[in-house]
Structures are given as structure tokens and as C-alpha cells.
Amino acid sequence: MKKRDKIIMGTVLGGAIGSVLGFMFAPKKGKEMRQDIKEFYDEHEDTIKKVQKKAKNLSLSAARAIRDKLEKND
């Protein structure tokens, strides 16, 4: 994965995590918070799914690279 792609993915993930934390610590009632989270998800569903897919692919790629490196050392 290119450095640029890692930076973009990190930025998007950081933004998503920050948003979730912001929702969690916001002074709202549970029902309002759940509605806000649902609306946020509905508005950003495509982006969230793309990030999930990229994160999954990145973790699988990293796992393969680690496995290959360990197998070479055996």
C-alpha cells in the first residue's frame, strides 16, 4: 500500500473514531444519541463501507506479510 493511501485511510479512520467518541461524550439522552448515530451512518454509509473494506484488506495483507516473513525464518 502506498504511503498516500495509508495517510488517507488513517485520516478517515481517525475522523470516524473521533466522531464516535464525540457522540459518546456529548450531553444528549440515549434516544437522541442513537438517532444522531443512525443519521450519521445513513449519510456516510458508502464511505464507512469503503473504509471497512480497505481496513480488512490492509489487515489481511499485513497478516500475509508477517506469515510469509515468519515462514522464511523457519
Going residue by residue through the chain (74 aa), what tens digit of pLDDT does each one get?
677 777 877 888 888 888 888 877 878 787 887 898 899 889 999 998 988 888 888 888 888 888 888 888 76
- When divided into structural domains, the chain yields a total of 1
pLDDT at 44: 92
Contact 16, 48 (CB under 8 A): yes
Which residues span the domain enclosing 40? 3-73
Q: Which residue has the cell 464516535?
A: 20
Per-residue confidence (pLDDT) for residue 46, from 0 to 100: 93
Instruction: Find, among 48, 47, 65, 52, the residue nearest to 1 by Cα.
Output: 65
